[in-house]
Structure 1
Amino acid sequence: MTNFTDEVHYKPSLEDMTIQPMEIDHARQICEWQYESPYDLYHWPAWDTMQKDEIEFGDPVLRRMQYAAVVNRDRELIGFAQFFPIVGVTRLGLGLHPALCGRGIGPGFLRLLIREALRRAPQNSIDLEVLTWNTRAIRAYERAGFAIEDTYVRPTPQGPAEFHCMVYQSIL
């Protein structure tokens, strides 16, 4: 895999990114991603644990139905998405390779995911949840057409936390 940290100017465009089914190799890679603090709470458990306990994309049925990998032109994994179905809504979950965070890639990455969510369920609205302190992500989501619609506290593995629910407002 490319060492994105060595490629200071690496910034894939929307045309450089493709969504494909999440394979086990993608899932393993995501479990190895290490984010810097304070984003380290986004680390996934070890792949063996995810698979054994069938946690999220460790569950083969859930992985096939809800998860997708985002790859660049060289077929290298740069991110992933979850398209979680709720009645009338597709809730996006997403992650970008840690070395690509903070480089301005978020809005284009989000536009790709929005297109896929609309393809999968064109009648649904699209939303996502984001921790209220994660201003870097909030800015990217706003640039991609999301707006804060609600704020609430909900449980997380680290304890209760405050989240914004952001809803997609723009038309691609």
Structure 2
Amino acid sequence: MLNKFRNYEFRKVTNNDVVDMLTWKYEGIYSFFDNDASQGKIDYVKSFPSDANVYSIYNENNELVGNCAFYLNDKVTFSIQMKPSLTSQGKGREFLLAILDFAKERYNLKSIGLSVLKFNERAIRLYKSLGFLIIGEFIGKTVKGDMEFLTMEKELKEAASCQ
């Protein structure tokens, strides 16, 4: 199976990828997503190479630009992370479309869901712009205590690139 979608390639996470990811620091309120924010987060990132449903994402210049994880429960959900130096540059839409195209092909999905922290307005705007609908909300435990989340879902009837 070819793991190239748009200008991105999806690869099994390596230990070198983990070393890079653990240095990622975000600005302002987004520092919540720093990969070294807690021992729990560090352990989670270190587990990536042993999880068949977590992928490193590389650009056409063979540079690590992000990662994504898929959770295969009764509904397939996912999480994504883009390298901090690439955020807020208008690259999120193409990045997310590549992930959706990959997910649809890899997992043969009809729909996909996610949970997003309510304060992450830029991510919510992006998800809504690509057809994700808010289907619920909940209070979830995080390394910084209980926080408000939204659950969102998108139908994948056609290739994500056609949406």
Partner of 1:161: 147
Q: Which runs of 5+ in 1 are unaligned?
A: 1-13
Alignment partners' CA distance in 1, 2:25 and 2:70: 23
Q: Cα deviation per residue 1:42-66 (whole Å; 9 max; x = unaligned)?
A: 01128xx67xx9822412422xx12
Q: What is the identity percentage for the equivalent residue pairs of Structure 1 and Structure 2?
A: 25
2:9–2:59 CA contact under 8 A, matched in 1: yes
RMSD: 2.1
Match of 2:63 in 1: 76
Q: Is the 8 A contact 1:153 1:161 kept in 2?
A: yes
Partner SS state of residue 124, structure 2: helix
* C-alpha distance in 2 between matches for 1:54 and 1:66: 18
Q: Does 1:36 align with 2:61?
A: no
Question: Counterparts in 2 of 1:1-172, with a 5 A limit?
Answer: 15-45=6-36, 55-59=43-47, 60-62=49-51, 65-87=52-74, 89-123=75-109, 125-169=111-155, 171=158, 172=160
Could you tell me which amino acid in structure 1 is paired with residue 35 of structure 2? W
1 CA distance for matches of 2:133 and 2:12? Answer: 28
Q: What TM-score do the two structures reach when normalised by structure 1? A: 0.80
Q: TM-score, normalised by structure 2?
A: 0.84
The 3 A distance-change label for structure 1 pair 34 and 57 is closer
Question: How far did 1:123 drift?
Answer: 4.1
Report runs of 4+ in structure 1 exceeding 3 Å deviation.
none
